[in-house]
Structure 1
């Protein structure tokens, strides 16, 4: 019989730090499982390799939404990492904590211990900020955070243009001033991606009390009554049962965690009955409250010296490759975007509800799933709506754990959301038509000068709008009837089972969600260790789920 004190399911952005924190106590025996393979591959470690991972089905769950009624029935592509490090091993490496009021808002919804002053110590604890520590930043943590190794002149001009129209410049959007415009930071160290696996697990992989297993796909959680006692996994075509003497921790992400809870008998009663799943607990909030940042992309032709596209195509890309191999610097060492501007869609907003991201390069996507840099000089600018008013759902498609769930995001289902995103497109144009960035622009390619009215822009949103891949909220934390976990991330109504990933967010944060997902894992480790449940008797567990 395989028995560990703690079983952590999912070696991603939250799972790796929680496993690391639990194994810091040598008295704890910790198992970390991952459905995907190891992550030590060149294009995973190389920041510019993210384009090659976007459609890589061996390292990516490659989910798709259900047809979206408000978006012409389109099925949106949702990549999620399926390897050690999870989505932190395939994402754009952008590090943005979120606004201070996000976390104060979590606390105000009945979650003591989750206000900004409560989570700031965990952000500081987890990071090594290359500029050094201060009141807001940490310098001794395992996760390296760096500024772009190359800062293009066009990026400086974008910042200056935004400032000239009233957007304040922030030198550190993870510090005192979040709402403003400035260079982004990335989880990159010495030109290589710093995933949560590399930061939190790899340095301690030899610990005798930490076991990491890949290729283990969770099938269900095992119970005695309403107490979680272990898990069942599929490994190399065979079912294995592994037992937890203390707790099972689900860190499979906002799309997989609610699916696994429902397949294990925890979820809305109607959903369980629909699929003839024996009920362990009627938990109506499981799979509800799905949130994401709706994303609109714009693109501009520009002068040759304004974009680094030319350095990544033709013969020059081989020079860049050589330069990277020799120095770990250059354009292959950059994250997905250089600059962000946080602005309000309306003066009525309490704080910025739009994130505008600028990059001095542009991609093109091909029908065969490959992604490449465009040959002509281009500037890419995108906008995310940070606080959507509508939510979606994760529901079951079948009782087969290998089948993706049904994802229904309900994008553009309210006038509030539509007006916010339209405002975001207008903000982009306002900045790009301001000096000094204006002098670098040759023409607007997307959406194009023919898209002028609000109705035109709305149609562009419907036809091209996408996901920023920042899903969260599907097992929300709180004390209301729809809350799945309490403020200590314990599944309500269940013993010895916690959820530790972005699904616990009552609402998603103002910015890329990887940084707060990591913080959740770091904080959760402390919560679990503080609670320190006594070990269960290890003999003959009796399961109530067949």
Structure 2
């Protein structure tokens, strides 16, 4: 019988942080299980390689939503990382914590210990900011946070134009002033992606009290009465039962964590009955409250000096490749977007509810999955609602663990969200029509000048809107009837079982969610250590 103190399910952003934190104590024996493979590959390490990972058959779960009536029956592709580092190994590497008031709201929803002043020390602890430490930022932590390797002139002009229309400049949107416009930072170190695996797990893989296994799909959590005792897992085609002497920790992400709980008999009664799964414990909130950032992308043809499209096409892309191999610099060392503006959709909003992101390049995703950098110079600007009122669900297609989860996000079903998005498109146009960025624009082609009315903009969103891949909140933390975990991240009504990942967010944060996910895991690791459960008596 294999016995570990802690079994962590999922080696994504949260799982890697947890494995490091729990094995800091040499007395803890930790098993980290990951369904995907190793991610030690050139295009994973290369920031611009994210384009090649978007449809990757090995490193991506390649999920899709259910058809959405509000989007004309359209299904939406949802890439999710599969492998060591999870989505942090395939994402755009943007590091945004969210607004301080996001976390105060979590606290006020019945989660003591999760206010901004409570979580700030964990944000600081996990990072090494290349600018150095201050009251808000950390230095010396595992995750390297850097400025863009190249800052394009058009990015500076976008910031200047945003300031001219009344958006304040912020030098650090993870610092004192979140709302405003400025350069974003990324999880990139000396031109290489810093996934959670590279930053947190790889440096400690040699620890004798840590076992990491890839290619292992957990089938279900095992229980004795209502106490988690281990997992049933298939590794390399072999089914195994592995025992946890202290706790089982689910860190499989906002889509797979609720799926695994339901497969294990923990979840909404009707959903379990529908698939013939014996109910262990009814928790109606499992899989409910799905939140995501629905975004729309606008694009303009630009002057040649405003865009780096031509630098990464044709023969020039090989020159850039050589430059990257020699220096780890250049355009291949850049993250997804350079600049962000956090703005209000209307004066009545308390704090910024829209994120506008600018990138000095454009590309087209073809139906085949091939990404092609556009042949003409162009710049792209996207927008999404930060705290959407729309919620969806994650349920099951079947009781087969190999089947994907059933994802129903319900995008564009809340009129306040729709109105906010339309405001975002209009604000993008206002910025892009203001000097100095206006002088760099040849013409807008997405959505195009023919799209002017609210109805036309809604039609554009219906036809082209997409996910920002910030799925969260499907095992939310709280004290109400729909809460899945308490403020210590313990599954309600179940012993020795926790969920520690983005699924526990009561409300999605105001920005990209990788940074708060790392924070959740760092804080969760401390909680597990503080709670210090004794080992169960196991009869062999």
How would you bin the TM-score normalised by the shorter chain? over 0.9
TM-score w.r.t. length of structure 1: 0.98
Tell me the distance in 2 between the aligned counterparts of 1:405 and 1:18.
24
TM-score w.r.t. length of structure 2: 1.00
Deviation at 1:463, TM superposition (A): 0.8
* Counterpart mapping for 1:245-256 below 5 A: 245-256=245-256
Tell me the distance in 2 between the aligned counterparts of 1:232 and 1:348.
51
Deviation at 1:372, TM superposition (A): 2.2
Deviation at 1:235, TM superposition (A): 1.3
Mean CA deviation greater in 367-376 or 46-55: 367-376
Match in the other structure for 2:213: 213
Structure 2 residue 372 is the aligned partner of structure 1 residue 365: no
Question: Could you tell me whether the CA contact under 8 Å between 1:169 and 1:182 is conserved in 2?
Answer: yes
- Aligned with 1:212: secondary structure? strand
Structure 1, residues 231-289: CA drift from partner, whole Å, max 9, x if none? 01111222111110000000000000000000000000111111111111000000000
Match in the other structure for 2:241: 241
Structure 1, residues 90-117: CA drift from partner, whole Å, max 9, x if none? 0000000000000000000000010000
Tell me the distance in 2 between the aligned counterparts of 1:137 and 1:102.
18
- Aligned with 1:93: secondary structure? coil
Question: Could you tell me whether the CA contact under 8 Å between 1:97 and 1:513 is conserved in 2?
Answer: yes
Structure 1, residues 437-484: CA drift from partner, whole Å, max 9, x if none? 000000001000000011110110111111110000000000000000
- Aligned with 1:522: secondary structure? helix
Deviation at 1:192, TM superposition (A): 0.2
Match in the other structure for 2:381: 381
Structure 1, residues 483-540: CA drift from partner, whole Å, max 9, x if none? 0000000000000000000000000000000100011011100000000100011224
Match in the other structure for 1:394: 394
Tell me the distance in 2 between the aligned counterparts of 1:268 and 1:491.
14
Tell me the distance in 1 between the aligned counterparts of 2:412 and 2:75.
14
Match in the other structure for 1:127: 127
Structure 2 residue 282 is the aligned partner of structure 1 residue 295: no
Match in the other structure for 2:409: 409
Match in the other structure for 1:273: 273
* Counterpart mapping for 1:308-457 below 5 A: 308-457=308-457
Number of aligned positions between the proteins: 540
Q: Structure 2: which 5+ runs fail to align?
A: none
Tell me the distance in 1 between the aligned counterparts of 2:212 and 2:31.
6
- Aligned with 1:175: secondary structure? coil
Match in the other structure for 1:543: none
Tell me the distance in 2 between the aligned counterparts of 1:403 and 1:190.
39
Tell me the distance in 2 between the aligned counterparts of 1:531 and 1:422.
47
Q: Give RMSD over aligned pairs.
A: 0.6
Runs of 4+ that moved beyond 4 A: none
Tell me the distance in 2 between the aligned counterparts of 1:464 and 1:167.
27
Question: Could you tell me whether the CA contact under 8 Å between 1:358 and 1:382 is conserved in 2?
Answer: yes
Tell me the distance in 2 between the aligned counterparts of 1:52 and 1:240.
34
Match in the other structure for 1:479: 479
Structure 1, residues 148-181: CA drift from partner, whole Å, max 9, x if none? 0100000000000000010000000000000000
- Aligned with 2:520: secondary structure? helix
